[in-house]
Structure 1
Amino acid sequence: MTHHLARDIRVLSETRGLERVAAGYAADAPSPPGWIKPGPAEVWIALSDQTWLRFVIAGEEIGGLWTLRLVLAAGLMLIGIAALGVWSARKVTAPLARFSLAAQRLGANVDAPPMSEEGPSEIRQAAKAFNGMQNRIRRLIEDRTLMLAAISHDLRTALTRLGFRTEFIADAEQRRKAAADLEEMQAMLQSTLMFARDDAATEPVTPVDLAMLLQSLCDDLQDAGQAVSYDGPPHLTYRGRPVSLRRAFANLIDNALKYGQEAAVTVAEKNNAIEITVGDRGPGIPESMRSRVFAPFFRLESSRSRETGGVGLGLTVARTVVRRHGGDITLDDRPGGGLLVRIVLPASPAVNP
């Protein structure tokens, strides 16, 4: 410290003709151990008359500089350690982030691109196992689809033969009932096959005006004399699968009209998400049954009869479509009575092109 101090004073004194400058500690100054320096420090400057001008600098002045250096060194060390820790943590968690993204893609689309098998040997092995699992799931779904197609062909052939045979029933009333049963069986078979094939998963993702899609559904039903209303923005661009979204919202609005006599549709953007609600004035659904109504073929017999209802796949299909877009669907009580179906879609949907 005194060496730098003497150098600085010498530089400043050269313009004054002062050539002899010295700095240091007094000979009798104590030398305690550790970071504490002896003091006070002294600076000697030789004058032209051969006398010396002596400056004494308090010890705490120089000690403060040492403290500053110590603090700066410790701060730089901490910054380096923190940067190294962040870099190490990212190196460790980056493969986990890739696995999480791959799992999300697989949940939305079983035909999503496989994971890249890169990185350390453990990561490559895990990625290879994940891709193998995805291939097995894909083959399982393909086998199921082929099996359902074969069953569908056989059942339709049998139903066609039964349809011809009903024409030979003498009793007109029984013939009408048999024809109605066959019609219902064909509708159930068609709905079941459409749900099992899940054609929505292969539909490409495109920009769609979600507000216009809902307004068109409401306008068509209003023209048919149904009690349907729309409240929301005139336009709302969204990236999704338009056919599957239209099918999902049509199912929800049809349910509201069948079992609640009206359908009030609202659309709003909230917290980086899009919220769509469909409300009716029907008897509603008990809270204990709200999770079960999304199961395939499940019905509430007390309020949703076979004469007025479908085959029990409307809510199932709607939730499947919404979840494929990264959102979710819930059921609540509507203020004033009735059921309120709430759909929340992320503004940036986690769907795969």
Structure 2
Amino acid sequence: MKLRLWPDTLFGRLVLILVIGMFGGQLLTSTIWFQVHDARTLEMPARLFASRLADAVRWLERSHDGRAGDEAQRAVLAALDDERFQLRAIAAPAPPRDLPLAQHAVSDLIATLVARRLHEPVEVRVLDAELHDGGGRRDGILSLFSSRMPYGVFHAQARLRDGTWIDVHATETQAGLQMEPRELVLDYLVRIYLVRFAAVLLIALLAVRFAVRPLKRLAGAARALGHNLHRPPLDVSGPAEVRLAAQSLNTMQQQLLDGIAERTRFLAAVSHDLRSPLTRLRLRTEMLPSAEWRERLRGDLDEMEAMVGATLDAVRGVEITEARHDIDVDSLLESLADDAREAGRDVTVEGRATAPLAGYPRNLKRCLQNLLDNALRHGSTVRIAVHDDGQTLRIAIRDDGPGIPAAELEKVFEPYYRASTNAAAHDSGAGLGLTIARSIAGAHGGTLALRNRAAGGVEAVLVMTR
């Protein structure tokens, strides 16, 4: 079985596009989460560094006696300098640097805390503020997942009141707090991706199902129109595109109905016009001196009139000119069986319908009459079996005749086609009965099929959905 990565339905495609789009957008914006956690993890070291830097500035300013580089200032610098906090006096500051967004927030925090601790504004330039893992490596945002004790590395410069600048390199820890990489990974994957992905998928399923519902109704109406051209017009509702498609479908339905009506009128006119020349031909036939020729021409004329009448009858038979009504199928079948029994035929009805069937009474009667006549023409005994499960009504009409060749079971539904095994023996039929019956079945949203019975004969199965 070939795996389809691209769904075959519009519903599946829209859901997949929405999920991939939103999931891709989440991947692109996930750096915000890293930056927030990076900034939060760097916040504690930054506060400790700001506090120590403010103390260093205070001590240097107190020790300064107005002479640059005096012994007291050098002594304070030497006293404050250690492995984790290295500072020195410089003549001029380094040019400002453009820091990443997370580091820029930390820089503002350091400058604010220093000024607040000294109770006066102090120019502080943060040149670097990074988070390193426990091994001293700068792994970027992934260091959040690889170390339990990440620490901050800072490089800043501060201006004293006398204009002197100091340059500070420092490292600060989390003040004893430990990170849990597993919890961070779980928080990131579960809360950010898994939960959001499930929420997006659920919303996409509900939203897309709601959006494509009008299209499903439209597709169902189009399928129903193929079975029943006389169904009520489709309700024009929903989005603009669906309304336009529904209007087009209704217009097409009306054009087809108009075309059928025009065809019926045309055939009726042709039938009417043919009757006059056929009548004249009959009169002239009766004037022929040869009895043999008169008999032959009578047969040809009878056949021509039968074909013209059957053709017009077929067109009228599939044309729906009545409203839908609830049909008592049991009474209809019993009435047809009684008529056949009065004519001396052996017809029985087995089973019952559970409820009336909505349909076109005259047309459905004609469909069943054609099937019954066809069965009586080929067999001596006919059994009508009715099965109704409340949703589907199944009517099977079985005869005990010679059957139909398997290759012709579908061909017999074609106009004027008669099975080869019975064509010679039953020339009276025009070959339109089954054509009309199947057309009427389709108008009721049903199906009609023939099959040969194992015990002999043919079974015509009419299935209609309620």
- 1:193 alignment partner, one of 297, 312, 323: 312
One-letter amino acid matched to 2:179:
P
C-alpha distance after superposition, 1:31-85 (max 9, x if no partner): 3146849xxxxxxxxxxxxxxxxxxxxxxxxxxxx99xx9899998567535522
Give the deviation of 1:173 after TM superposition.
Answer: 4.5
Q: Does 1:289 align with 2:408?
A: yes
Q: Does 1:298 align with 2:417?
A: yes
Give the deviation of 1:221 after TM superposition.
Answer: 0.9
Distance in 2 (CA, whole Å) between partners of 1:113 and 1:215 is 30
Equivalent residue runs for 1:70-81 within 5 Å:
80-81=199-200
| Distance change in 2, residues 1:237/1:127 (3 Å) | closer
One-letter amino acid matched to 2:368:
F
Give the deviation of 1:118 after TM superposition.
Answer: 4.7
Q: Is the 8 A contact 1:205 1:240 kept in 2?
A: yes
Q: Does 1:31 align with 2:150?
A: no
5+ residue gaps, structure 1: 1-26, 38-65, 349-353
Q: Does 1:101 align with 2:220?
A: yes
Give the deviation of 1:94 after TM superposition.
Answer: 2.2
One-letter amino acid matched to 1:126:
A
| Distance change in 2, residues 1:337/1:110 (3 Å) | closer
Distance in 1 (CA, whole Å) between partners of 2:388 and 2:239 is 43
Give the deviation of 1:196 after TM superposition.
Answer: 2.2
Q: Does 1:341 align with 2:460?
A: yes
| Distance change in 2, residues 1:288/1:132 (3 Å) | same
Distance in 2 (CA, whole Å) between partners of 1:313 and 1:127 is 34
Aligned residue pairs, count: 291
Distance in 2 (CA, whole Å) between partners of 1:317 and 1:265 is 19
One-letter amino acid matched to 2:272:
H
Q: Is the 8 A contact 1:258 1:309 kept in 2?
A: no
Give the alignment's TM-score, normalised by structure 2: 0.55
Residue 147 (structure 1) aligns with: 266
- 1:88 alignment partner, one of 202, 207, 214: 207
Q: Is the 8 A contact 1:290 1:331 kept in 2?
A: yes
Q: Does 1:260 align with 2:407?
A: no
Distance in 2 (CA, whole Å) between partners of 1:75 and 1:210 is 57
One-letter amino acid matched to 2:205:
V
Distance in 2 (CA, whole Å) between partners of 1:144 and 1:311 is 20
Q: Is the 8 A contact 1:211 1:236 kept in 2?
A: no
| Distance change in 2, residues 1:223/1:128 (3 Å) | closer
Give the deviation of 1:313 after TM superposition.
Answer: 0.6
Give the deviation of 1:324 after TM superposition.
Answer: 1.2
Residue 130 (structure 1) aligns with: 249
Give the deviation of 1:243 after TM superposition.
Answer: 1.1
Larger Rg: 2
The 3-state SS of whatever aligns with 1:191 is helix
| Distance change in 2, residues 1:301/1:196 (3 Å) | same
| Distance change in 2, residues 1:135/1:216 (3 Å) | closer
Residue 164 (structure 1) aligns with: 283
Q: Is the 8 A contact 1:259 1:304 kept in 2?
A: no
Q: Is the 8 A contact 2:370 2:437 kept in 1?
A: yes
Q: Is the 8 A contact 1:212 1:234 kept in 2?
A: no
| Distance change in 2, residues 1:238/1:142 (3 Å) | closer
One-letter amino acid matched to 1:321:
I
C-alpha distance after superposition, 1:313-353 (max 9, x if no partner): 1111111111111111111221311111111111x1xxxxx
Distance in 2 (CA, whole Å) between partners of 1:182 and 1:36 is 97
Give the alignment's TM-score, normalised by structure 1: 0.71
